[in-house]
Amino acid sequence: MVYRRKPELGQVERVRNPGGGTPTIEAQWFASAGDRLFRNALVTAQFKASNWDEIGGWNCYITNLIKEADYAERWKKKGANNRIDAATLWAPLLDWEIQVAKPKLIVLMGGVVRQLVTELGHQGLLRLPVIATIDHYSYVAHRPKGQLGPMHPTRVADYHRDMKNIRAQFERLSAKQH
């Protein structure tokens, strides 16, 4: 399971399936360089069995922590209290997803999501299994980190390595349960 931040409305407005046609649920991950990075990393780590640009082949469940779309710029301006209020509002649905899916491992994308999920867990609003955190793919694809720019080969390689490490953690957890 990979928890993303809330859906970015600008991204939702740009979605297209490869080859055209009516967008499916997967179209949200075809809109940017970050989406391609994310899907490629999932393929490399065997969380997706088909090519990055093919529909289907998922070996993981992906959802958003906050299930409402907004423009990223507006969301950032709303502040931390608004974020926790929105996360609290959606927590019952997220907890239901976790209880139904029964994941061995939840992967959180980014520190903001980690903080929110941790707070929801402390409040007793989420019953959580083991958690791992990885940088959000949009951070790697669109924002610099120190001297390294967006999509710098070192950052891309680090993202793929981190996803492979998450896969190894998942395999260890799976082996313990059998």
Domain count, the chain: 1
User: Which domain does 71 fall in, by range?
Assistant: 2-176
Mean per-residue pLDDT, 3-7? 60
pLDDT number for residue 177: 82
pLDDT band for position 28 (cuts 50, 70, 90): low
| Cβ–Cβ under 8 Å, residues 146 and 41 | no
**Residues 77-89: what's their mean pLDDT?**
89
**Percent of the chain residues past pLDDT 90, beyond the cut:** 61
**What are the pLDDT digits (tens) for 51-67?**
888 888 999 998 889 88
Residue 3: what pLDDT? 62
- CATH code (residue 164): 3.40.470.10
- For residue 22, with 0-12 CB atoms within 10 Å meaning exposed, 13-18 middle and 19 or more buried, which class applies? exposed
Q: Evaluate if pTM is beyond 0.85.
A: yes
**DSSP string for the chain:** -EEESSPBHHHHHH---TTSSS--GGGGGSSSHHHHHHHHHHHHTTSB-S-TTSS--BSS-EEESS-S-B-HHHHHHTHHHHHHHHHHHHHHHHHHHHHHH--SEEEEESHHHHHHHHHHHHTTS----EEEEE--HHHHHHS-BTTB-TT-HHHHHHHHHHHHHHHHHHHHHHHHT-
Q: Please write the tens of the pLDDT for every residue from 31-41.
A: 788 888 999 99
